[in-house]
Structure 1
Amino acid sequence: MGEVLNVVVAVAVIVFIVRWVTSGKDAASGPSPSAVLGFRPKNVTIEMVETVHTMFPDIPSDNIRYDLLRTGNVQTSINTILERGFLPAPPPAYYTIYPRALDSTDTAARPAPAPSSSSKSKSENLIERYHLENRVAVSSGVEARTPEEAAGRADWEENAEKREASLRERKAQMILAARQRLLAQQAKEAGSST
């Protein structure tokens, strides 16, 4: 009986020492995420955050990641956004474990842009994009109109092609009117600075 008691005490002392030694290493590496957040975080991948952020670009990535850490499910996070219209902001303790996301998500994790968009020059403006270069010279003598006046009131056309052409024309008129207002404003500022 005495030998069994000695073995039990020895095992208890060894377990106590092992726990004490390993707990010192955990304290040196920092608090555990579950202790800081108050719940055990689920595994969240960058793709999960990107999926939700693609659908709701106005929701900050940190809010999305925090909700996914709680739920672990993209569908649940999306339903929360649809029901509430927002995701709650993470508490300040969240940022001690997960550094603040830069703009919207990690730029290194974003997929590369499509080759067609990278081949376009960065200086492309609306005039070039909608091929209105020839109409700029014609409209330079016309007085500036507001976008509402330029767009006018559209009549409902009987087929899709005519409706598309009407929309394209209204866009062109709005772009040209905005350009004229910008040029007038720049001329006014240049005149007042001289």
Structure 2
Amino acid sequence: MASELVNVIVAFAFIYLLVRWFSKGNDNARADSPAAILGFSPRKATDDMIATVHAAFPDIPRANIHYDLLKTGSAEVTSNKILERGVLDAPPAAYFRAFPLATQQAAQGQPTAVSSTPTPAQPRDLISRFQLEQRVAQPEPAAGATAVRASWDASAEKREASLRERKAQMILEARKRMAEKLQAQTAGSS
């Protein structure tokens, strides 16, 4: 009787250890799953959804869009969030373990940026972005001669041209003030 009890206890211990050993392999597989890495159950985010949101908001990095789509599962909700807040949260480092950058680049066929630093295709400064190189090289007109009066024009083209000109003037004035500030600093330090 006692030997049978010992055999039963040994058999249960063996089965317990065997089950535990096999389930340990499953825990590792679960720990590597995107849900375990990200801390939430990711929803489906297709390349079409990412492309749709990125087409509407090209200044938002694709990784940020993909991360938000994994949380929301909806291009509309992600778009509304961008419209309300102006930005999307950058994905945490764990996101890149679950979705490696190289995999994203290969799937999308283009580089993925996390930050909003300009890519080589984007101009690095406002002068080149707004194509004001020739206006910087021109001598300054008399004070007040370049002021554009803000008025409401009847045609959309005139309003757009007026807005473009005001932006250009603001950029050129800021550049002028910065040059004067740097000149004053160098004169003060000499």
TM-score by length of 2: 0.49
